[in-house]
Chain A
Amino acid sequence: MNALRRRFQPEQIRELVLIALIFGIILFFGTQIENYFSPRTFTRISTSVAVVAIVAVGQTLVILTRNIDLSVGSIVGFTAYVVGTILSRNNDIPPVMVVLLAVAMGAAMGALNGLLVAYGRVPAIIVTLGTLALYRTILVEISGANSVLTNELPRWLVNLPPVNVFHLGDLDIRLLFFIALVVVVLFQFIASYAAWGRRLYAIGSNPDAARVAGFPAQRIVFTAFILSGALAGLAGFVFLARFGNITVVAGQGVELQSVAAAVVGGVNINGGLGSPFGAFLGAILIDVIDNSLIRWLAISEFWRDALLGLLILLAVATDTVIMNRLRKAWSRHELQISGSETSAEKGGAHHAA
């Protein structure tokens, strides 16, 4: 137990527990579903998790500052549709430009959110609920009820999902999943090592103290929303590549899935605690359950949503109950280390008084 304490902080234990839980669930479904342990299952889950994982990383950045971004679902749909439409009219745009276009479009939409929240001081839940409806409505308006169709898209894009980056034994790491991995690693790195990331946590932990510490808190919140939008834009591109056929309802519900992934992954909804990696694990856990339940005949379609909801409640409950216990156990231990000091302090006080 002591070795455990020295090596890990409670937040890291939480992530280890998540990983164990994911493996536990996979083992369970392995006994329930025929041919579950196959490379195909891995491929299916890893490609389907990519979109939500990318969005959840952006969502995490925003939640860390004590805000929330509910417009990401609309941004995913908007970029997927608009980029798809542009590509179907002009198949020759270079791939790099396509990705940049999607990211820029998302960033612009995120900037509007950030402007209103950080500088306009409107609560994020109001702003992004508004832009969720606004971006979707604009999409419906410009679409004229048409859909993007796979056969109008350039070949390279349609052929993207099965592209492998490398193999891990029998398991294929598909490009779309690889993009998500890169995003997670990059932002985990920024969160742990960059000044910007550090300040993100400081703002969420104590906005007042952040203001007094003399760094541009508003600009940092603004940037977090831009990044959330940009990542949603990137996810829109992945969405387009994966599905090909895009209707005006594309990406609906992604906002809730991303919030769920972050919360299940240990990101505190009140800001200041959590990590992009945790949100990634949360996204995987939800996706594994979702994907497996579809194939598990023992359960009806309607129960899938209920189970997902139950999982979120469970995550929040463990957050408050178990994490508090862990933290207490940890600090008891630390008090023991400094125990002699503490008693010396008391004794000193006594004498002086």
Chain B
Amino acid sequence: MPNPTEVHPVLEIRHVSKRFDATQALEDVSLVLYPGEVHALIGENGAGKSTLIKIMTGVHRPDTGELLLDGKPVHINNSQEAQSLGIAAIYQEPMVFPDLNVAENIFISHRKRGMIVNWGRLYRDAAAILAQLDVRLDVRMPARGLTLAAQQAVEIAKAISLNVRVLIMDEPTASLSAHEVDQLFRLIGALRSKGVAILFIGHRMEEVFRIADRITVLRDGKLISSRMRASAAELSSQREQVIREMVGREVGDFFAKVEVPRGKLLMSVRDLGKTGVFTGVTFDIYAGEVLGFAGLIGARRTDVGLALFGIEPAESGEIIFDGQAVQIKTPEHAMKLGIAYVTEDRRGLGLTLPMSIATNITLPTLRRYLNGLGLIRQNEEQRTAEEYRDRLMIRTPSVNLDVGKLSGGNQQKVMLSKWLNARPRLLILDEPTRGIDVRAKAEVHHIISDLAAQGLGIILISSDLPEVLAMSDRVLVMREGRQMGIFTRSEATQETVMTAAMGQHETTQVAPL
């Protein structure tokens, strides 16, 4: 491999900043990509990796700073322009057209191949590109039947056919088996020797250190470090250094949960599993306790939440709620037991958007608001909504306003109201503070602490590590569908939790699988 200092960079990102409302997604980030180099970009969820990718592919424009291609400033306005400049991205889920065959997928973005398809040439060209990559694949086969790894090979072939110079790979290994990862890494090797600059975003430490020439750490939108991969001898100390840099966040300004004596056992979960999603989830939760669920994206924490609420029921294992073995198959059943689930997906599973705050709050509990004739007592409904507005400090001139018009933090509080009104005993909160501003976040933390003090058991799924640590009595860590361990408050530190979440090495705390 040539020494990068003698090679001219393909793409330079200089002092780029980007702000979304309350969050500074990127702050003065600079990055240089050299041909023939695999550049790994790592960081926690929300560190700014996706924003950086979106700026490189023209989805977002930087507020300040510039991009230089071959030393010349460029403005990328959309992904087509990025593509024509030789910048392409492939994602965790390959974007292939299932009904088109391999060759058609490879050449789908070509506009200069004439009006009439020369099938013979199409197949020959496609086969030639795949041969370069040493991939054996029938170019006439529809993409539908392909494995994920093969679909990624098709995407990479597509990028090559477009003479890609910068290839961004966003967690390409997330859903691949170990064998498929090997195949993918061989492809990356082939691309590297063709002089393509590769930006590799990954969560698995061992993979990052296996494939990367250079490693850059982002944290809270800032560039923390950028270094060449160490030699084999120093590799493990470099790994530890990188993990420290990823997690070194200030915890000081977080509100911490008030400790309350643990109540009685609320629910025991034993060896809960769902094929291909998660296995071996085992924990107890007590009244008055906040059990944090930590992990990276793809750790399948949300899937456990969906299973416990009966939306996507588990297939194996047992749940003992209040001393009774139960099988939770539907949300109705979960609600009857006293379980409520506040989704991370506000617009999808959470709120019915063109409807008012009051109607959203009473939706799951509408039966309580009916009079003898089965009609809704709208005054009663109004009163409940106003009660929650005051209690949770929802900022709105009227509870009859369309929820869609509220800010993210207030929408979150409406969802909380909706499920608190169901009077649950176990509350599952999935990313309750994602995308809301600092003040609303602090308010939600206070609410969580109060609820626990009132004797609710709370499962707090959060990707915000300092939040999980500050709010939880115990922290359960998951990684790719497996439970990596449960840490008590004193054991849980950013390092121990992140190390378990990234699978650096199996901890001594691993729960029986």
Query: Contact between B311 and A212 (Cβ–Cβ < 8 Å)?
Result: yes
Q: Say whether B38 faces chain A, with CB atoms less than 8 Å apart.
A: no
Q: Which of B335, B348, B374, B407 contacts A194 (CB 8 A)?
A: B374
Task: Count A/B pairs, Cβ under 8 Å.
Answer: 103
CA distance A353 to B439 in the complex (A): 9
Q: Which of B309, B374, B401 contacts A334 (CB 8 A)?
A: B401
Instruction: Output the residue of B311, B335, B341, B437 with the most chain A CB within 10 A.
Output: B437
Give the chain A neighbours of B350 by CB distance below 8 A.
209
Q: Which of A215, A349, A353 contacts B364 (CB 8 A)?
A: A215
Q: Say whether A156 faces chain B, with CB atoms less than 8 Å apart.
A: no
Q: Which residue of B lies closest to A190 (CB)?
A: B375
Q: Say whether B234 faces chain A, with CB atoms less than 8 Å apart.
A: no
The 9 lowest CB-CB distance pairs between A and B, nearest first, are A348-B439, A205-B352, A352-B438, A349-B437, A337-B397, A206-B352, A213-B364, A341-B395, A214-B331
Query: Beyond A202-B355, A213-B331: 15 further Cβ-contacts under 8 Å?
Result: A195-B366, A195-B376, A198-B363, A198-B366, A201-B352, A202-B359, A202-B363, A208-B348, A209-B349, A209-B351, A212-B341, A212-B343, A331-B402, A349-B22, A352-B253
Give the chain B neighbours of A90 by CB distance below 8 A.
none
Given A213-B364, A214-B364, CB of A334 within 8 Å of CB of B397: yes
Give the chain A neighbours of B374 by CB distance below 8 A.
194-196
Q: Which residue of A lies closest to B375 (CB)?
A: A193
Give the chain B neighbours of A198 by CB distance below 8 A.
359, 363, 366, 376
Mark contacts of B426-437 with chain A using CB atoms, 8 A cut-off: 1 yes-contact digit, 0 otherwise: 000000000001
Given A195-B370, A338-B396, A349-B22, CB of A213 within 8 Å of CB of B438: no
Distance (whole angstroms) from the CB of B462 to the closest CB of chain A: 18
CA distance A196 to B370 in the complex (A): 11
Mark contacts of A194-235 with chain B using CB atoms, 8 A cut-off: 1 yes-contact digit, 0 otherwise: 111011011001101111111110000000000000000000
Give the chain B neighbours of A196 by CB distance below 8 A.
374
Q: Say whether B332 faces chain A, with CB atoms less than 8 Å apart.
A: yes
Q: Which residue of B lies closest to A195 (CB)?
A: B366
Instruction: Output the residue of A196, A335, A338 with the most chain B CB within 10 A.
Output: A338
Give the chain B neighbours of A216 by CB distance below 8 A.
332
Distance (whole angstroms) from the CB of B437 to the closest CB of chain A: 4
Q: Say whether A278 faces chain B, with CB atoms less than 8 Å apart.
A: no
Q: Which residue of A lies closest to B440 (CB)?
A: A345
16 A-B pairs within 8 Å (CB atoms) are namely A193-B378, A194-B374, A195-B367, A195-B369, A201-B352, A202-B359, A209-B351, A212-B343, A212-B349, A214-B330, A216-B332, A331-B402, A337-B397, A342-B407, A345-B437, A349-B438
Q: Which of B353, B378, B397, B402 contacts A338 (CB 8 A)?
A: B397
Instruction: Output the residue of B309, B374, B375 with the most chain A CB within 10 A.
Output: B375
Q: Say whether B244 faces chain A, with CB atoms less than 8 Å apart.
A: no
Distance (whole angstroms) from the CB of B434 to the closest CB of chain A: 15
Give the chain B neighbours of A82 by CB distance below 8 A.
none
Q: Say whether A55 faces chain B, with CB atoms less than 8 Å apart.
A: no
Contacting A at CB under 8 A, from B330-367, are 330-332, 334-335, 341, 343, 348-355, 359, 363-364, 366-367
Distance (whole angstroms) from the CB of A258 to the closest CB of chain B: 23
Given A214-B331, A338-B396, A346-B22, CB of A194 within 8 Å of CB of B352: no
Q: Say whether B405 faces chain A, with CB atoms less than 8 Å apart.
A: yes
Query: Contact between B366 and A199 (Cβ–Cβ < 8 Å)?
Result: yes
Given A345-B439, A349-B439, CB of A194 within 8 Å of CB of B405: no
Query: Contact between B355 and A214 (Cβ–Cβ < 8 Å)?
Result: no
CA distance A19 to B405 in the complex (A): 29
Q: Say whether A273 faces chain B, with CB atoms less than 8 Å apart.
A: yes
**Which residues of chain B have a CB within 8 Å of any CB of chain A?**
22, 253, 309, 311, 330-332, 334-335, 341, 343, 348-355, 359, 363-364, 366-367, 369-370, 374-376, 378, 395-397, 401-402, 405, 407, 409, 437-440, 442
Give the chain B neighbours of A194 by CB distance below 8 A.
374-376
Q: Which of B330, B334, B438 contacts A348 (CB 8 A)?
A: B438
CA distance A335 to B407 in the complex (A): 11
Mark contacts of A171-208 with chain B using CB atoms, 8 A cut-off: 1 yes-contact digit, 0 otherwise: 00000000000000000000001111011011001101
CA distance A161 to B39 in the complex (A): 82
Distance (whole angstroms) from the CB of B86 to the closest CB of chain A: 38
CA distance A213 to B351 in the complex (A): 10
Give the chain A neighbours of B397 by CB distance below 8 A.
334, 337-338
Instruction: Output the residue of B330, B370, B397 with the most chain A CB within 10 A.
Output: B397
Give the chain B neighbours of A342 by CB distance below 8 A.
395, 407
Q: Say whether A106 faces chain B, with CB atoms less than 8 Å apart.
A: no
Q: Say whether A266 faces chain B, with CB atoms less than 8 Å apart.
A: no
Distance (whole angstroms) from the CB of B442 to the closest CB of chain A: 7
Distance (whole angstroms) from the CB of A323 to the closest CB of chain B: 11
Given A334-B397, A345-B440, CB of A214 within 8 Å of CB of B332: yes
Query: Contact between A338 and B439 (Cβ–Cβ < 8 Å)?
Result: no
Contacting B at CB under 8 A, from A294-353, are 331, 334-335, 337-338, 341-342, 345-346, 348-349, 352-353
Query: Contact between B352 and A202 (Cβ–Cβ < 8 Å)?
Result: yes
Distance (whole angstroms) from the CB of B435 to the closest CB of chain A: 13
Instruction: Output the residue of A334, A345, A352 with the most chain B CB within 10 A.
Output: A345
CA distance A335 to B397 in the complex (A): 9
Give the chain B neighbours of A337 by CB distance below 8 A.
397
Q: Say whether A272 faces chain B, with CB atoms less than 8 Å apart.
A: yes
CA distance A265 to B438 in the complex (A): 44
CA distance A201 to B253 in the complex (A): 42
Query: Contact between A334 and B405 (Cβ–Cβ < 8 Å)?
Result: yes
Q: Which residue of B lies closest to A352 (CB)?
A: B438
Give the chain A neighbours of B367 by CB distance below 8 A.
195
Query: Contact between B366 and A215 (Cβ–Cβ < 8 Å)?
Result: yes
